[in-house]
Amino acid sequence: MFSGRATSINATIGGINVILNDTGDLPPNGGFIERELASADLFGGTLTTGLLTAITQGGFEQSRSQVIVYNLNLMLGGNTFASDVFAVSTQCTCQESGPPICDGGVFANFRINGEAFPLGPINQRVELPGAGGGFVIFNEQIRTVSGSSASLTINGVHIIIPDNPIIPGDQGANIIFSSAHSDINCSQ
């Protein structure tokens, strides 16, 4: 049995949630789902992108998901975030013996306020400058293995900016770019 999902953008800013270029869930019997969006302009120009692609697939002994976001630009909380390309992939594979194996990766040239942030370790956290606070998690990974089942979710970038109590109605931001999920159950 297979499961997978690929989502280009899941952004909540000021209490408004927008999900863009989402494959939805892969059926348990597998298959192939592909979504593409030429560009995005959200929240009055606060968030813009070029091409968005998302693919999830499952068949034979493997489930795979991939997301690519091109020309990302975000201005939020006094910070600018940019990337020419942001790609995330995951895959889970059944083995002849032993538990399934899941792996994946992130490729990006992400910048915050013009400064390049090379992607390092899993769940790398970077505090945002300024009075508003907040942080960014790069290469956010959630991995599970239980018997003959395994799953891996990778969120390329996860930006969290808390509510600002000084500004009435400010509800902060929670934004995920390039989220890929793969899941497989190898029981016969």
Please state the rounded mean pLDDT for residues 113-140. Answer: 87
pLDDT above 80 (res 140)? yes
Q: What single-letter amino acid sits at 31?
A: G
pLDDT above 80 (res 103)? yes
- Cβ pair 180, 65 in contact under 8 A: yes
- Cβ pair 3, 12 in contact under 8 A: no
Q: What is the pTM of this model?
A: 0.92
Predicted local confidence at residue 78, as pLDDT = 84
**Residue ranges covered by each domain of the chain:** 2-185
94-120 burial code (b ≥16 CB/10 A, e <16): beeeeebebebebebebebeeeebebe
pLDDT digits (tens, 9 = 90+) for 143-159: 999 999 999 999 999 99
pLDDT digits (tens, 9 = 90+) for 13-67: 888 999 999 999 999 999 999 999 999 999 999 999 999 999 999 999 999 999 9
pLDDT tier at 188, thresholds 50, 70, 90: low
Predicted local confidence at residue 164, as pLDDT = 61
